[in-house]
Chain A
Amino acid sequence: MDGDATRGTTYRIVLSGELGDDFAFLFGDLLLERVDGTTVLTGRVLDQAQLHGLLDQAQDLGIGLVSVEAVAEADADDTEEERP
């Protein structure tokens, strides 16, 4: 386990299918957006346990996982700014 996990890391999680905003509460403070037939969740995740908890939420609904990546802080800030 890397040291970053204990301080919190920004993740981008991509799920298959578009989910409405009603589902956002399942994913804590992550930003939920719909992009071309997928759902993109972005935000800070405290540690590995929390990350797995978020993935479990998708799994509980049978929602497919497309990708999970840790993103550099600068990229995450860009995402925030691009929002209208």
Chain B
Amino acid sequence: MPRKQGLKPEGHVTQPVLIATKLHPPDVREQTIPRAELAERLNVGPGQRLTLVACPAGFGKTTLVAAWRESEAARKPIAWLTLDEGDKDPAVLWSYVIEALCRVRPSLGEAISPEITSAAPITEVVLPRLVNELVAQGEIALVLDDFHRLSAGPACDSVAWFIEHVPSTVQLVILTRTEPPLRLPALRARGELLELRADDLRFTQSDAREFLNGHLSLDLSVEDIDSLVARTEGWPAGIYLAALSLGKAAQADRSARVGSFGASSRHVVDYLTAEVLEAHDLPTQSLIIRTSILERLCGPLCDAVMETKGSAAMLDALSRSNLFLMQLNDESDWYRFHHLFAQLLRVELQRRDPDLIPALHRRAYEWHRKHGSTEEAIHHAMAAGAFQEAADLVATVYARYGNAGKYLTVLNWLEAFPDEVFRDDPRLRLAEGWVLAVSGRPDDAAAAVAIDLSAPVVDDGPLPDGFPSFEASLMTLEAIFLAPTRGDVGSQLEVARRAAELVPPGTVWRSAVCWAVGWGLYFRGRFDEADRWFEESVVEGHAAKQWIPADSSLAYRSFIAGVLGRVSDQHELAEQAGRALREHRLEGVDGVVLLALGLSLAARGRETEGPAVVEQGVERIRGIGQPLHLAHALLHQADLLRALGQNENATAVAGEARSIISGCKDPGMLRDRLRSFGLSPSVRSMRRDGELTDRELTVLRLLGGSLSERDIARDLYLSHNTVHSHTRSIYRKLAVSSRADAVTRARELGLL
């Protein structure tokens, strides 16, 4: 499985920031009742891997667990994370989880940091590391609130893996509205699951009495309380809505109100919403209804959305009197509505001011673009139907998110665009292509950018990511990822040279483009010319802080010095590359740098160290999945082994290189290098032009089922456009013109 190879197109880029409010447990409010018996049940014994609090909205899950956290926090550290849509991307989810754990257990932060999620595969590397580090950390609990927002998918799968492997000192508490796909039956059967469900959390008569008369001082009769509990079936949110609607009524009217509520067949939320709102003055009603479109609220954001002033004071007052508006933390004045209440407010907004909704989203977008988070800006732009603005933002930030390993975040944004917007905006298709390529999916990337640039396109560049034109972006993507993946030196050099014409010196992408031209010439065996391009890549890369191409170019310059017999240059360049690797914590290029270091050590007679470092380099390059680079590394390794007299090993390694080279369309000088081992590429295994790629075979199999192209796109995390592009290519290769014919033909050919 190919792994990711990072590429930083923007100089000033840092890791996308974590939103601190997600990491704060909600404060426990005075008005809530303690429910000590329930909280006690959360103190599980060892061996219970998962504590699951699963019930519908409004049952007080968060309140219960937050109160438990407060009472237990002295005994063991309890980390808190509130999930949202963005956490469907495992890289995002685990960067937050690690941050949350490190906050309550600082010693863990010395061993692992959230940034690891941008550099390594989650299930293969990050989670095993985390589990190992947790073993040494003693008792700790992790609360994941709103888990239902993950839905089934890679993020959920990663949590299932974590549950299976986590040490027994870790208590995982999951709060969710829906049964999560976490292999619960197996956990239940092994007695490793503690569950609290709706029936456990319903208010009893005595809970309701304590809450309504004790904490809220409503002074209701026992009969009225029993009637409320019966009418709401003990649903805490319903009882609280009733309390809010009764709070402003005169004492004498309350019993009559309870009576008419009890007699109505209207749903609790329908009956009570209007009454709750009427208990507030008009400006407050207006504020809470209109700001219900926001995931998080703060004074300045609400001022912008309302086009008024003074929202901060209103929020502050409201959060003191209304449990449905929660302060997220003491320092930053952020709040959020209880989800259920927000949804009720949105119903009211739709009823009162449906035409205003896009304008509210647009104001929220504008505020977030200037002062808030990119993700929320994109969300509100989409909700406002301002797809052009959303596209501008995505086209600006996709590379930053892609480099941080947050591929799914970008792909999910792209999926949210209407088809016609996506189809007509090459920037979005290029963003998809780049992210797919960087995440190790070159076949999908190639399909994503199957763009006809001869057709007139809107406003061709300069693009917000720093490319001067669409063609420049496309040629660079081809030269760095797509042509090398096909093992095609000829076309790689051609597109790289075209990219070099389009991307001028002194711009951010110049270093990457010079690097790509250098490769092409290097694999043609034109070392002197290649060296000049690599040298320019280093200079440009340092100027624009593009460390990945700059550092990789140093490694290639070291290879060239080695080939040309300049041993001291070889050594100096490899050492420089090694220093840069450590200084900039580069992940994508470490294989090629290790190879350069190993070869230079071996060239200076370090016969044990050299081959060991070369071996490490080969393994890292293997992970990247680019055939030319792997075959190149293997041939160097074979040379070295032969020089050390290990002929048998040398032949085996060269044999592997041979089978890779046999699959390359144009392996350039690697063919000659192979001949020096008395080997030549086998012709039979060469992939012909008309043959389906692995990815196309996957799509073909899905076309044989009943899923629509749109469903297939969702399953594969691709845009509809890209799946359609795969389909067209399949039809062309099978010489058919319909899905049914493609499936029939594929069956005849034995492909299905």
Interface residues of A (CB under 8 A from B): 1-3, 5-6, 15-20, 22-23, 25-26, 34, 37, 39, 47, 49, 57, 59-64
Contact = CB atoms under 8 A, between A and B. Distances in A.
B265 A61 contact: no
B388 interface: no
Interface stretch (B254-262, B342-350, B456-464): B342-350
Contacts of A20: 266, 270
A20 B354 CA distance: 17
B130 to A, nearest CB: 31
B267 A6 contact: no
Nearest to B339: A60
25 contacts: A5-B706, A6-B706, A6-B707, A6-B708, A6-B711, A17-B267, A17-B268, A18-B265, A19-B267, A20-B270, A22-B270, A22-B348, A25-B354, A47-B708, A49-B711, A60-B57, A61-B269, A61-B340, A62-B59, A62-B235, A62-B238, A62-B269, A63-B267, A63-B269, A64-B56
A61 B344 contact: yes
Contact of B265 (A2, A23, A37, A62): A37
A15 B354 CA distance: 24
Determine which residue in A3, A57, A59, A60 has the highest number of CB atoms from chain B within 10 A of its CB, and name it. Answer: A60
B664 interface: no
Nearest to B714: A49
B178 A59 contact: yes
A23 B58 contact: no
B294 to A, nearest CB: 16
A62 B350 contact: no
B177 interface: yes
Interface in B708-724: 708, 711, 714
Contacts, number: 71
A68 B235 CA distance: 23
Given A19-B266, A22-B348, 9 more contacts: A1-B707, A15-B267, A19-B270, A22-B270, A34-B265, A37-B265, A62-B56, A63-B267, A63-B269
Interface in B147-200: 177-178
A63 B271 CA distance: 13
Interface string B537-560: 000000000000000000000000
Contacts of A61: 57, 269, 340, 343-344, 347
B370 interface: no
A1 B706 contact: yes
Contact of B347 (A2, A16, A26): A26
A23 B238 CA distance: 17
B57 A59 contact: yes
Contacts of B56: 59, 62, 64
B351 interface: yes
Contacts of A15: 267
Contacts of A18: 265-267, 270
B430 interface: no
B73 to A, nearest CB: 29
B629 to A, nearest CB: 40
A35 B350 CA distance: 24
Determine which residue in A6, A22, A61, A64 has the highest number of CB atoms from chain B within 10 A of its CB, and name it. Answer: A61
A11 B512 CA distance: 54
Interface string B317-355: 000000000000000000000011001100110110010
Nearest to B59: A62
A79 to B, nearest CB: 21
Contact of B58 (A2, A19, A26, A62): A62
Prevailing SS type, chain B contact patch = helix
Contacts of A64: 56
A35 to B, nearest CB: 10
B237 interface: yes
Nearest to A34: B265
Nearest to B351: A22
Nearest to A55: B178
Interface in B264-299: 265-270
Contacts of B237: 62
A61 B343 CA distance: 6
Interface string B618-643: 00000000000000000000000000
A56 B343 CA distance: 11
Contacts of A23: 270, 347
Interface in B682-711: 706-708, 711
A64 B238 CA distance: 13
Contacts of B59: 62
Contacts of A37: 265
A68 to B, nearest CB: 15
Given A17-B270, A18-B266, A62 B57 contact: yes
Contacts of A62: 56-59, 235, 237-238, 269, 340
Contacts of B266: 17-20
Determine which residue in A17, A23, A62 has the highest number of CB atoms from chain B within 10 A of its CB, and name it. Answer: A62
Contacts of A57: 343
A18 B270 CA distance: 8
A51 to B, nearest CB: 13
Interface in B336-386: 339-340, 343-344, 347-348, 350-351, 354
A23 B344 CA distance: 9
Contacts of A34: 265
A31 B674 CA distance: 71
B209 to A, nearest CB: 22
Given A22-B350, A61-B343, A62-B340, A16 B267 contact: yes
A25 B350 contact: yes
Determine which residue in A16, A17, A57 has the highest number of CB atoms from chain B within 10 A of its CB, and name it. Answer: A17
B177 A59 contact: yes
Contacts of B268: 17
The 9 closest A-B pairs by CB, nearest first: A17-B267, A62-B57, A62-B58, A3-B706, A60-B343, A22-B351, A6-B708, A37-B265, A25-B350
A60 B292 CA distance: 14
A2 B711 contact: no
Contacts of A49: 711, 714
Nearest to B706: A3
Contacts of B347: 22-23, 25-26, 61
A49 B351 CA distance: 26
A39 B711 contact: no
A13 B84 CA distance: 27
Nearest to B348: A22
A47 B268 CA distance: 30
Contacts of B178: 59
A60 B269 CA distance: 11
Nearest to B269: A61
A49 B708 CA distance: 12
B391 to A, nearest CB: 23
Determine which residue in A2, A3, A18 has the highest number of CB atoms from chain B within 10 A of its CB, and name it. Answer: A18
A60 B267 contact: no
Determine which residue in A15, A22, A25, A49 has the highest number of CB atoms from chain B within 10 A of its CB, and name it. Answer: A22
Contacts of A19: 266-267, 270
A5 to B, nearest CB: 8
